Chains A and B, each alone.
Chain A
Amino acid sequence: MDVIDRPLYELARLLESGEVSAEELAVEFLSRIDKVDGIVGAFVTVDREGTLSGARMADKARRAGEAPSHLAGIPIAVKDNMCTRGIETTCSSKMLRGFVPPYDAHVVERVKAAGMLVIGKTNLDEFAMGSSTENSALRVTRNPWNLQRVPGGSSGGSAAAVAASEAPAALGSDTGGSVRVPASYCGIVGMKPTYGLVSRYGVVAYASSLDQVGPLAANVRDCAIMLRVIAGHDPRDSMSIDAEIPDYEAQLGRDIAGKVIGLPKEYFAEGIEPGVRDAVLEAAKQLSKLGVEVEEVSLPTVEYALAAYYIIASSEASSNLARFDGVRYGHRAEGAVDSVSMFMKTRAEGFGPEVKRRIMMGTYSLSAGYYDAYYKKASQVRSTLKSDFDRVFERCDALLTPTAPTTAFPIGERIDDPMSMYMSDVCTVTANLAGIPGISLPCGWQDGLPIGMQLLGKRFSEATLLQLAYAYEQAAGYPSRKAPVTKDRGCCSCH
C-alpha cells in the first residue's frame, strides 16, 4: 500500500520507527495533490514550502529526541475558514480573497503544537453556508467516488482531500452538519464534538451558538486521535469548557455489549432514501450482534429542527457577517462616493447568492416586529428539542440515524433550489441545536456511492460514540474501500 493510503495512526508509527521520514511523507502527499487535485479540487491553497520545511524540522526534532508528539511531521488539511497566520484565509469567498490573518485559530495552534503540518487550506461553501461545496466562489470540488457528484458541504474540500488520499486527515467545521454530511458523501469518518469542547477562536464565525470544529479522517481511530489534538479549554472562547480530555484512542476496543442505542423514528420518516434507510437499519442489526440493545425511540420536536436551525443560523450569520463592510480588511468596492454605498456595493460584490440569502433571511428574522415570531420562537423550539434529547439520553447511550437522507447528489442538481439543498442537513442540524456530539461513518455503498450513518450522544460522550463507531467499523470490515479517484479512472479520463 502506498504511504498516502495508510491510516494516520500507522503513519505515526512509521515516523516513530524511522521507516519513513516526515520529508518523504510531505513529498508523497504533495505529489498526490499535484496529481489529483486538478480534478478533485479539494484545496484552495497548498503550502508547499511551509510543509516541506516543517517536515524537515520535524525530522530533525525527532532525531534529536525532541519531537513535540508522536504525530510530529504528519500533514493535515485545514478548512479555509480557520485562520492561519501568514497564510491566506478566504472562506472561499470573494469577500476575503487576499486576507492574510495575523494570527492562528486555536485549532491550528493545537495542530502545530503537536508538530503536525498544515499542508493546505481546503475549499468550502462560501462562509460554510451550504451542503455541497458548490457555493464556493473559488472552485468546484468533486466527490472522489464519482467526479460528477458533490462531495457534500460545507467542509467538502476537507472530506474530498481525505477521501482522495491528499491528506491523512483534515479539520472541518460543523454548524448544521458540515463535517458529518461531507464525511458521509465521501465515505470517511467525521465528527462534530460537543459544543464547547473545541475552541472556536479563529474560526470565521457562521452561527456562533452552533459552530464547532471537528476532525475528518479515514477511520475511527484517526478521528479519535485528531479529536484529542484539537479538544480542550481555551480562555479566548467564552463558551469553551474546561474539562479533562480523555485519551479517546486508548479507550477504543472496549466492550460495547449492554449499551443501549435508540433508533429515533423521526429520522427514518419520508424523505429518507430507501437504500440509505436500509443500510442504517442493517448497521443497527450488526450492532445488536455485538451485544448492543437497539430500541425505537421518539423525539417529536425533530420535525421542526430544520426550520428552527435555518432561523437561528441565518440570524446569527446576518450579525456575524456584518463586519465585512470593506473598511478594515477584505474586499472593498471601488468608486463609492459615500460610506453607505461603499458598504452596500462591497457586500453586493463580495458575497455570493447563498450568503446573501441567509443574511437576508437572518436580518428579516431579527428585524422589528418579527423577532418574537422567528428568532425567539426558534430558540424556544430549540429548548424543547434539547429536552427531547435529554429525555431519550436518560435511557440510551447513543442514537443511530442516517447522516443524510441521500447519497451524494449530482453537481448542479440542487443549486437553484435552496429548500431542497437545505434538506440535506435534516438529520444533522439537531446535534448542533442541542449542543451534543455526533459522528458519521460509512455503513454501506449504493451505486458506488458511500452511505453514512450517524451516532449521536449526550454532551461529552465522545469517547462512547467513538467506541461504538470503532466496534461497528471493525465488525463491518470498513474502511477497506478507497475512493477510486485515480485508480479506476485515472486522472486523464475524468476530463
Chain B
Amino acid sequence: MELTPDDVKRVAELARIELTEDETRAFVKDLNDILRYVNRLQQVDTEGVEPAYHVVPLENVMRVDCVTPSLPVDEALDGTTGRSGDYFKVPRILDVD
C-alpha cells in the first residue's frame, strides 16, 4: 500500500489542513517511510486478541447530575479573535451538516 499524492490530499482534506504542493510531496515521502516501518505490525499474530484501547481496569466512572458554575461569558469568549456580541463569529458555512 503506497500512498499517492491524491491519497495525501484526501487525508489533508479530512484533517482540514491546507497543504502546499511542496508539503504534499514531502508528506507522500514521509508517510510512506512511516508506513513501511509500521507495516511490521502485520507480522504479529493477533488472531483473537482483544484490542487494548485502555490499560486501566476502570469501568462506570461517572459523576452525579449536579450543576456547577459555568464561566462568565466574557471569560468564555476571551480566547477568540472572532467575538461578535456574546457569540463566536465564523465566516460563511458552505457545507450543510
A residues contacting B by CB (< 8 A) are 99-100, 102, 195-196, 209, 235, 238-239, 241, 301, 303-304, 306-308, 310-311, 318, 322, 325-330, 332, 336-345, 347-348, 351, 353, 356-357, 359-361, 363-364, 367, 373-374, 376-384, 386, 418-419, 422, 433-435
Contact = CB atoms under 8 A, between A and B. Distances in A.
B37 to A, nearest CB: 6
Interface in B51-70: 51-56, 58, 61, 63
Contacts of B56: 195-196, 239, 241, 435
Nearest to B34: A361
Q: Lowest 10 A-B CB distances belong to which pairs? A: A329-B79, A435-B55, A379-B51, A380-B46, A383-B52, A344-B18, A348-B18, A307-B38, A238-B61, A363-B15
B16 A374 contact: no
A488 B78 CA distance: 47
Contacts of B39: 307
B52 A382 contact: yes
Given A329-B79, A360-B11, A377-B46, A195 B55 contact: yes
Contact of A360 (B8, B44, B80, B91): B8
B15 A311 contact: no
Contacts of A353: 23, 26
Given A310-B38, A328-B79, A380-B46, A339 B93 contact: yes
Given A329-B79, A419-B34, 10 more contacts: A102-B78, A239-B61, A303-B40, A348-B17, A356-B27, A357-B34, A360-B8, A418-B30, A419-B33, A419-B37
A318 to B, nearest CB: 6
* Interface majority SS (helix, strand, loop, mixed), chain A: helix
Contact of B94 (A209, A340, A377, A419): A340
Contact of B90 (A303, A339, A348, A377): A339
Contacts of A238: 58, 61
Nearest to B79: A329
B55 A433 contact: yes
Given A209-B53, A379-B52, A382-B52, A347 B18 contact: yes
A434 B8 contact: no
B54 A239 contact: yes
Nearest to B33: A419
B19 to A, nearest CB: 7
A354 to B, nearest CB: 10
B80 A327 contact: yes
B79 A330 contact: yes
Contacts of A422: 34, 37
Contacts of A374: 38, 41
Nearest to A347: B17
Contacts of B50: 380, 383
B49 A325 contact: no
28 contacts: A99-B79, A100-B79, A102-B75, A209-B53, A238-B58, A307-B37, A308-B38, A310-B38, A311-B38, A327-B88, A327-B90, A332-B80, A338-B91, A340-B16, A342-B91, A356-B23, A356-B27, A357-B30, A360-B8, A360-B31, A379-B53, A382-B55, A383-B46, A383-B50, A384-B44, A419-B33, A419-B34, A435-B56
A196 B50 CA distance: 21
Contacts of A336: 91
A386 B95 CA distance: 43
A37 B66 CA distance: 47
A377 B42 contact: yes
Contacts of B49: 380, 383-384
Contacts of B61: 238-239
Nearest to B46: A380
B94 A339 contact: yes
Nearest to A376: B51
Most buried by A among B27, B40, B53, B79: B79
A344 B12 CA distance: 9
Contacts of A344: 16-18
B93 to A, nearest CB: 5
Nearest to A432: B55
Contacts of A378: 38, 41
Most buried by A among B34, B49, B54: B34
B80 A328 contact: yes
A436 to B, nearest CB: 8
Given A308-B41, A337-B92, A419-B33, A327 B8 contact: no
B71 A102 contact: yes
A342 B82 CA distance: 12
Nearest to B72: A102
Contacts of A209: 53-55
A357 B14 CA distance: 14
Contacts of B53: 209, 379
